[in-house]
Structures are given as C-alpha cells and as structure tokens.
C-alpha cells in the first residue's frame, strides 16, 4: 500500500503540473523578475497546486477514514488557499500570518505535542503550553520551507529529502499512517520537481512552499510526538537547512538593524551564487547539506547519550563553518576561520 501511494501521487503530479502551468498563465499568476530574484523572464508560479491536488487525491484514496484525515485536509486546504491568493494578488504579511495560524489551529484537536518521555524515566507534560508550542512549530517550519524557495528545484528537493527521511524513520517506528502520508507527499513533490528542476518550466510559488512546509511540520509532529527529550530534536535535525537559514536570516537582519520580516538577497543560496557556483551546483550543494542532516538524524536515533551530544556539537560546528565560509550573517563574521589564520601566522 505504501509504494502504491507513492506511485499514484507521482503519476497525478506528472499529469497535473502541465495543466496547472496553463492555468497560471491564463489567470496571470506569474512571477516577474526583480532585483531579489534570479530568473530573467516571467514564470508561472502556481505549481504547488499540482502538489496539493495529487496529495489530496492520494489521501482520499488511501486513508479516507483516519481520524487525522479531515483535520489534515482542512488545514492543508487553508494553507494552500493562503499561498494561492498570495501568488495571485500578493497578500500582506498580516493576512498570510492569520491564515497560517488558522491552519495550525485546525489540527490542534488531533495533533499536539502533549508530553515527552524523559531519558531517565518519567514524563514531562507541557499542559496548556502544548497549544502554543504546536502552533509555533507549524508556523516556523511552514515559513522556513517558504524562505528557501529561491532557486529552481531548491525547496522541492530539500522537502523531498526531508520527506524521505521521515518515511524511513516512520517505517522503523511502525507508523504506517505517517509512512503512507509521507510517501504521498514525496510522490507529489517528485512529480512536480520533474518540471521544476533547473531550468524550471514552472515555480511552486507560495501555493506549494507554504503547503509543503505545513505538511512537513504536521508530519513531523505525527511521527515524533510523545517521544524522548533527545528524540524530540530529530525533526529539527532533519529540517536543519531550512531552519538554520531562517534563524541566520533573523540574526543577520538584527545585526544589520533591519526589520525581521524584511526581505533580502543574502540567504544561503544567494551566498553560494555570489561565491561563483552555478545555479544547478548551488542547488545540488544544498541538497548534499540537507542529506547530511538527514543521515545525522538517523544516526542520532541509534546513538548513545554521549554520542548524541557529540553529533549535535559536530553539526553546530559544521553549520558555523558554512556560515563563515558563505558570509551568511556578514562577510566579516569569521571567528573560527580568523582563529586558524592567526594561528598559522604565528607559526
């Protein structure tokens, strides 16, 4: 049943995406070039609608009666509609956030992080805090995926790697619902990526980026809720690239005394392009970094407590080096690299 769900979603996405492309052009949902964007000509940007439709068709075919199906369909439809309207008429940040909060609230009845099992026995219950924790998580991941949607195939590929990792781990945990849903979303994303990888024929737009981010956030809660404190960081590791890019964007804007919501052209993919990497190589490098995080997440589940701590430390060190080498915060921010330079000069 799991493999069938992947194939059905893949086939529907492959069929739907060219049709959505024609619709986007017909209704004027196109992404025009600007100083913040890399593409040169107008590009249809409703591709995420193909991901949404293929996923929803698959969900109704394979899991029509699950307790999670209706909340996921309603929440996913709300977030898709927010993205669709933004692609069409460009919603204000206030309305986009309102829609995201509403989509998060919809799933609260069935999907919440209520407690975690402590490593030395006992449970840590969040009580009423489980509601804001769940809402903040969903909104944060939704926007993290949206923020990395800056190059052909980037958000789709990073999402596909995260979904593949969630699939593998849900199989290990015998969580068949999450396995099937993750594969449905993976098939939908891969089918769209066929048309979206560089040089792209269509963009997913906010319709796709917000929907993918929302669904990945919900899936990670379904797959890893009520687990140990250490396992609670697994989805954070899996989504390490979009989360860290978002965090560093906030730090960068704080350092530069700009509003947190201000757009810029200094995200990880922009920095790699500025270093001279080609469009395709930049995307592949970020795919590789995402894959490293995913492998680390799988290793993390099998490691001892000390092994987990060392793994986290290693990931932080790797991230710090990436930040310094790419100038993600600032070109002059190089504490570790400068330390090595000074050491070599004293020899």
Per-residue pLDDT in tens (0 to 9) along the chain, 347 residues: 678 999 999 999 999 999 999 999 999 888 776 555 555 667 898 999 999 999 999 999 999 988 999 999 999 999 999 999 999 988 998 999 999 999 999 999 888 877 766 655 567 778 888 899 899 999 999 999 998 988 999 999 999 999 999 999 888 888 888 999 999 999 999 999 999 998 899 999 999 999 999 999 999 888 766 554 445 678 889 999 999 998 888 888 887 777 776 777 788 998 999 899 999 999 999 999 999 999 999 898 888 878 888 999 999 999 999 989 998 888 888 888 888 766 666 65
**Per-residue pLDDT at 117:** 62
Q: Calculate the alpha carbon distances from 310 to 158, 303, 314, 327 in Å.
A: 25, 10, 6, 26
Cα separation of 58 and 261, whole Å?
Answer: 35
Q: Among 195, 205, 197, 198, which Cα is nearest to 30's?
A: 205
**Burial track 57-88 (b if 16+ CB lie within 10 A, e otherwise):** bbbeebbeeeebbebbbebbebbbbbbbbbbb
Q: For residues 200 and 152, is the Cβ–Cβ distance under 8 A?
A: yes
Cα separation of 78 and 97, whole Å?
Answer: 12
**Per-residue pLDDT at 38:** 56
Instruction: Name residue, tokens 């944060």.
Output: 140
Which token pair is 235? 């989805």
Q: For residues 20 and 47, is the Cβ–Cβ distance under 8 A?
A: yes
**Per-residue pLDDT at 215:** 96
Cα separation of 42 and 71, whole Å?
Answer: 36
In the three-class reduction of DSSP (H, G, I as helix; E, B as strand; rest coil), residue 71 is classed as helix
Strand pairing report for 30-31 and 43-44: antiparallel
**Per-residue pLDDT at 248:** 87
**Per-residue pLDDT at 126:** 80
**Per-residue pLDDT at 304:** 80
Cα separation of 147 and 153, whole Å?
Answer: 13
**Per-residue pLDDT at 254:** 82
**Per-residue pLDDT at 158:** 96
User: Whole-prediction pTM value?
Assistant: 0.90
Cα separation of 305 and 211, whole Å?
Answer: 35
In the three-class reduction of DSSP (H, G, I as helix; E, B as strand; rest coil), residue 30 is classed as strand
Cα separation of 167 and 24, whole Å?
Answer: 32
**Per-residue pLDDT at 120:** 56
Q: Which own/partner contact pairs does 84-91 have at CB distance under 8 Å and 24+ positions apart?
A: 84/46, 84/49, 84/206, 84/207, 86/205, 86/206, 86/207, 86/210, 87/24, 87/29, 87/45, 87/46, 87/205, 87/206, 87/207, 88/27, 88/28, 88/29
End-to-end CA, the chain: 63
In the three-class reduction of DSSP (H, G, I as helix; E, B as strand; rest coil), residue 85 is classed as helix
Cα separation of 112 and 91, whole Å?
Answer: 28
125: part of which helix (H) or strand (E)? Answer: strand 123-125
């Amino acid at each position: 049943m799991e493999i069938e769900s992947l194939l059905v979603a893949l086939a529907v996405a492959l069929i739907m995406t060219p049709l959505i492309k024609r619709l986007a052009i017909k209704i004027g949902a196109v992404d025009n070039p600007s100083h913040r964007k890399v593409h040169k000509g107008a590009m249809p940007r409703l591709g995420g609608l193909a991901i949404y439709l293929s996923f929803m068709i698959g969900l109704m075919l394979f899991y029509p009666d699950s307790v999670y199906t209706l909340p996921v369909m309603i929440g996913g439809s709300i977030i898709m509609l927010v993205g669709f309207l933004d692609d069409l008429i460009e919603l204000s940040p206030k309305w986009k956030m309102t829609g995201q909060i509403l989509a998060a609230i919809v799933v609260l009845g069935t999907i919440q992080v209520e407690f975690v099992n402590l490593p030395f026995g006992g449970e840590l219950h969040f009580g009423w805090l489980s509601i804001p924790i769940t809402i903040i998580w969903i909104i944060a991941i939704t926007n993290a995926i949206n923020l990395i949607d800056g190059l052909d195939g980037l958000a789709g590929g990073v999402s596909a790697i995260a979904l593949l990792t969630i699939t593998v781990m849900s199989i290990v945990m015998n969580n068949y619902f999450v396995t099937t849903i993750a594969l449905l979303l993976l098939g939908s994303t891969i089918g769209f990526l066929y048309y979206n990888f560089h040089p792209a024929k269509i963009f997913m737009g906010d319709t796709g980026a917000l929907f993918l981010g929302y669904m990945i956030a919900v899936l990670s809660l379904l797959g890893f809720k009520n687990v140990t404190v250490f396992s609670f960081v697994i989805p954070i590791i899996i989504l390490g690239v979009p989360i860290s890019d978002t965090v560093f964007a906030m730090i960068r804007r704080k350092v530069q005394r700009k509003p947190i919501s201000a757009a810029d052209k200094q995200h990880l993919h922009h920095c790699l392009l500025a270093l001279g990497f080609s469009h395709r190589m930049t995307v592949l490098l970020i795919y590789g970094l995402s894959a490293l995080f995913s492998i680390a997440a799988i290793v993390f589940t099998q490691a001892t407590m000390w092994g987990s701590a060392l793994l986290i430390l290693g990931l932080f060190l790797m991230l710090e080096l990436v930040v310094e080498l790419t100038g993600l915060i600032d070109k002059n921010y190089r504490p570790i690299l400068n330390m090595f330079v000074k050491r070599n000069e004293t020899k």
